[in-house]
Structure 1
């Protein structure tokens, strides 16, 4: 290694990658729990060691130079090698044997924690970390190795995964119990176009069910207001602000309390599937493998018992 290479540290490369990503020394410092002067000093030392300018100021931001852009893949390779080395050491020491990180989409919060607890009764030594996020957030956790497995509906396409189906996932159309449509024994799809709906963000499972329901019949999409969570949608429907397609697994308590009604509509309920998903190239640790096997073997019976034999369908 030449003299310049001996002066460069892995920490400098980590700071460099954070600065390139955020285009700001201040934001890079915040991300790495450093002070902005410390980031600036380390980037100056790195530039000096390389004998090249890495960043140019652009107002309050910094822009990577052509040299910096060329350096990025090598810095990423170094950072990934370090992560892999640490991972191997931790595995050799047995620290990861009992750890499993489970991400779940927001709809799965209605049964996911209970499913995890059932697993822990069988494997009390396991250390399970759970996180709940929207679909994009869960996919990002899998992609960035911040989760070992995920409980979700339709498996992602932008990363290669192995997916095991373990339960049916019914979607239903809900309304306030006082809504005029509750008086009808069967409702045609065309009768719904004039009514106001509440929907999740584009790309979510419930949004896809909503759009497919009307487009499959060649009908225009009805007027709709977008909301950022199923909980907010439920509250709005209970306030009689509109109709909504939601997972039957998210409304069991509200139905029992008489706060929500499931409408009898042609083409509903629509059955999807629940999957336990993990990156195809990922080597699961012992606890993660046991959790995967538990979900695929015991998950179907758990879901039937938890939600009832009809899975919430009318």
Structure 2
């Protein structure tokens, strides 16, 4: 059989996500490229690996066994690479981080230099909602988590990276001058993130704390979805500034002045108190402690203008 390690990786990702679209997104490939490699991989076997019903793909029992074998082979391949790098005296191993969804606008900038300096380090980063981020931290599945709202009942240590500022945001078609928060929120349809989102929690606490009546228009499960809804003039939302750079610069969205905003929290890298870090995790933490202020100034200088 002449299948490649790349084909094994693609099939494993398809099996894990049960979606060619999601596999393509996670592998940073096009859907046609994933489909072609999946077809080429299937050509090595007489028994079907997948089954398509309607628009959904399912993994057959045989496919599940091949996926398990693929995972073991890929793990061994990584082990070989790690051993080779370690023999050369390079830092090697996995760095595992769970990031709340809006954190995808923050975390890459605090990772890039470290990964360039340590090419043998393998990054495993899960971008999900706050609830799942905290669960994976408690379960010791990750080295670190990036959050903007600290978990109140968890014994953690933290390293603060960057201020997180949340504003009321909407389309530029309408201008606002001098209205009170109560007046604005009474007439504006508000778009919320889903339950379990840190942004949702912060937004709801602000409304409740100020006893502001509001219209709940809809609930969406990602900041990207909220942004597109705002651009389409479907409503307004309280959103983190960090993900709005292009939309503000292009005049697609505006910040609506409201007393009591912005809400300011902190993007913090957190880990369980007393956790014994791996050499890779310890090296990364040392890198951040030395470079975080420089990274924040260099990559987020635009942030101070708001």
The answer, yes or no, to whether TM exceeds 0.5 is yes
Specify whether residues 211 and 312 from structure 1 end up closer, same or farther in structure 2 by C-alpha distance, changes over 3 A only. farther
Query: Within 2, Cα distance between the matches of 1:200 and 1:296?
Result: 32
1:166 matched to 2:161? The reply is yes
Q: TM (normalized to structure 1)? A: 0.65
Is 2:129 the counterpart of 1:134?
A: yes
CA RMSD of aligned residues (A): 2.8
Aligned partner of 2:228 among 228, 235, 248: 235
- Give the 3-state SS of the residue equivalent to 1:288 in structure 2: helix
Pick one of 252, 257, 264 that aligns with 1:264.
Answer: 257
Name the counterpart of 1:112.
Answer: 107
* C-alpha deviation, 1:151, in angstroms: 1.4
2:152 corresponds, among 153, 157, 164, to 157
Instruction: Specify the SS of the correspondent of 2:271.
Output: strand
Q: Does 1:175 align with 2:155?
A: no
Q: What's the secondary structure of 1:296's corresponding residue?
A: helix
TM-score (norm 2): 0.66
How much does 1:309 deviate?
Answer: 5.4
Aligned ranges 1:196-215 → 2 under 5 Å: 196-215=189-208
Contact 2:109 2:295 in 1 (8 A): no
Once the two structures are superposed, what CA deviation does each residue of 1:161-190 show, in whole Å capped at 9, x if it has no partner? 2122121111111100103xx242x44211
Give the alignment partner of residue 248 of structure 1, picking from 206, 218, 241: 241
Distance 1:268 1:195, change over 3 A: same
Structure 2 equivalent of residue 147 of structure 1: 142
Any unmatched runs of 5+ in structure 2?
A: 1-59, 66-81
Q: Residue 148 of structure 1 contacts residue 278 of structure 1 at CA under 8 Å; is this kept in 2?
A: yes
Distance, in Å, in 2 between the alignment partners of 1:125 and 1:205 is: 33
Deviation of 1:312 after TM superposition, in Å, equals: 5.5
Distance 1:224 1:292 in 2: 42
Equivalent residue number for residue 180 of structure 2: 188
Alignment partners' CA distance in 2, 1:289 and 1:187 = 50
2 CA distance for matches of 1:150 and 1:259? 32
Deviations 1:119-175 (A, max 9, x none): 223434432222211111211221222211111112223542212212111111110
**Larger Rg computed on CA atoms:** 1
Q: SS of 1:287's equivalent? A: helix
